[in-house]
Amino acid sequence: MGPLIRLPMQRRAGAKAPAAPRAVIVSASVGAGHDAVAAELAARLEEAGVAVDRHDFLDLLPGPAGGILVGSYHRMLDRAPWSWKLLYGSLDNHRMMSMQASLFTALAGRAMRRAVADDDVRIVVSTYPLASQVLGRLRRRGTVDKTVHTYLTDFSVHRLWASPDVDAHLAVNPIPAEQARGIGCKDVSVIAPLVDRRFTPVTDRLRYAARARWGLPQDARLALLVGGSWGAGEIERTVNDVEAADPGLTCLVVCGRNEPLRERLLAAGVRHAFGWVDDMPSLMHAADVLVQNAGGMTVQEAVASGLPVVTYRSIPGHGLTNAAALDEAGVARWVRHQGDLAEALAEAQAGAAAGAAAGSGPDDPSVLPLPAREAARVLLEAAGIPYPAAAPAAGAASGAVAHLATAAARPGAGAASAVPAAAAAAAPVAMGGVR
Q: In tens digits, what is the pLDDT along the chain, a chain of 435 residues?
A: 444 444 444 445 555 556 789 999 999 998 888 999 999 999 999 999 999 999 999 999 999 999 999 899 888 888 888 888 888 888 887 788 888 888 999 999 999 999 999 989 999 999 999 999 999 999 999 999 999 999 999 999 998 898 889 999 999 999 999 999 999 899 999 999 999 999 999 999 999 999 999 999 999 999 999 998 888 999 999 999 999 999 999 999 999 999 999 999 999 999 999 999 989 999 999 999 999 999 889 999 999 999 999 999 999 988 999 999 999 999 999 999 999 999 999 999 987 665 555 554 434 333 334 457 899 999 999 999 988 876 666 544 445 666 566 655 443 343 333 333 333 333 333 323 333
User: Residue 45 corresponds to which amino acid?
Assistant: L
CA-wise closest residue to 226 among 272, 267, 166 = 272
Q: Residue 59: give its domain's CATH number.
A: 3.40.50
**Residue 25, CA distances (Å) to 15, 53, 116, 127, 377 in order:** 30, 6, 9, 8, 15
Final residue in a domain of this structure, among 190, 217, 234:
190
Sheet containing 188-190: which strands, arranged edge to edge?
51-56, 22-27, 121-126, 148-151, 168-171, 188-190
Residues 6+ apart with CB under 8 A from 358: none
165 and 127 in a common domain: yes
Structural domain contains residue 124: yes
Number of domains in the chain: 2
How far apart are alpha carbons 297 and 210 in whole angstroms?
21
Neighbours of 282 (CB within 10 A): 26
pTM: 0.84
Please, where are the H alpha helices in 250-387? Answer: 259-267, 280-286, 297-304, 318-328, 341-358, 375-382
216 and 186 in a common domain: no
Same structural domain, 139 and 232: no
Domain containing 54 equals 22-190
What is d(CA 31, CA 15) in angstroms, rounded to the nearest whole number? 46
